Amino acid sequence: MATEDYRSASYEIWQAMAAGWDRERSWMWEASRAVSEEMLRALGPEPGQTILELAAGTGETGFAAARAIGPDGRLISTDFAPEMVAAARRASERLGLANVEHREMDAERMDLDDDSVDGVLCRWGYMLMADPATALAETRRVLRDGGRLSLSVWGAAERNPWASLPAKALMEHTGVPPANPKDPGIFAMADPERVRSLVQDAGFAEPRLDEVEVRWRFEDFDAYWRYVTELAGGIAIVLQAMPETDREAVRKLVERATGDYRVDGGLELPGVALNASAG
């Protein structure tokens, strides 16, 4: 897919995902908070600092930073999808966070001055961007001397069955070949060496890399299937667009594949995120 076509499609996907992410924000935060907490430890936000969050989605990771930087600090919470920005704004208002500025922003084309922020957070964003190298160079540009970047991407597909099993089932049913591993997507930055290279080529020091394990728990397969078809980004859009008979065939393949992950009547699917931090 051409770069601009990909950007347009990605925009539509995350606009469409915003309502579900907003609805399920508490569950998603509890399932993945270990990743964000490790990102914040690596960033080390301090009172009075300005922190930028890229691809913030519904905003929870940045909100944790907002509490750390206090009333004299400023969190700039951004996403390129206006519906995600709106969802994050509603949440920060409910939480009473007065130090948060919400902005629609493309991480590859930031409307920010050079040397204007003290730290940057980006959870599961760079891997989905059309040009992560440009986004990382922009990140380096807006960071002040001594500022830090803390990011997370997903590790290898085989270590993330919560995401890879539906993708495999979809390929099996449709015969579509696997994507180029460097094309934008959930596993586009699963190779630690690619993460290291992208970060250093953008002008950062060699990053520290840490693996963070997560567990996605679902009360039953139906709950997992709702997640896949309503919240799981591009694959959710593909499944929603399929004829019902094809979607049901994929569902059966996925249900069979998740058999090894049944626990106490529900499902527990493991995952591994790859966190990186650098100054």
User: 89-124, pLDDT tens digit by residue?
Assistant: 999 999 999 999 999 999 999 999 999 999 999 999
Rg (CA), the chain: 18
CATH number at residue 185: 3.40.50.150
On average, the pLDDT of the chain sits at: 96
How many independent structural domains does the chain possess? 1
pLDDT category at 265 given cuts 50, 70, 90 is confident
**pLDDT of amino acid 177:** 84
Over range 165-173, report the average pLDDT. 95
Cα–Cα dist 195/78, whole Å = 22
Axis-axis angle for helices 233-241, 161-174 (nearest 10):
30
How many CB atoms neighbour CB 156 within 10 A? 13
How many CB atoms neighbour CB 122 within 10 A? 27
Q: By residue range, what is the domain housing residue 60? A: 3-278
pTM of the model: 0.96
